Amino acid sequence: MATRTQIIVNGRLGRNTTSVREMFYEAIQNAIGPTKICNFGHGTGSTTGVQHEGNRVVPIRNFPQKGCSVDEHGTLVITGSGLQGFCRDCDNRRRRVRLDTSTQNNAGGYDTYENNP
């Protein structure tokens, strides 16, 4: 019986960056400014039908971070803008719609899969 090799993953996987979150936002603010435009659902639309409501210029602290990490020397590493493309409010509303839609689609549970080959 052959042995399986261990999957090699990124060394930064699972590291908590909560203690340096404010330093990330300060570095991002110095790079792109204090605000960012949330375009969620305005360019090509959204499959869930959710669009950003209200003023589209949002403070950067209302965006989740993306591509931010601390290397082994303790320096901040920010790839891209460091922020996701849509604000937390849009993300939460989109997740709620997806959850409700999947709940409706799977109302019968596993029994519906057995009856529909």
Alpha helices in 18-108 (DSSP H): 21-32, 88-105
pLDDT classification of 4: cutoffs 50, 70, 90:
confident
Report which of 35, 41, 30, 29 is spatially closest to residue 62, judged by C-alpha positions.
35
Neighbours of 98 (CB within 10 A): 13
Per residue in 60-104, pLDDT tens?
Answer: 999 999 988 888 888 899 998 999 988 999 999 999 999 898 888
CA distances for 44 relative to 47, 50, 64, 99, angstroms: 9, 12, 21, 22
Query: Rounded to two decimals, what is the model's pTM?
Result: 0.74
For the chain, the maximum distance between any two Cα atoms, rounded to a whole number of angstroms, is: 61
Which residues make Cβ contacts (< 8 Å) with residue 82, sequence separation at least 6? Answer: 24, 27, 28, 31, 65, 66, 67, 68
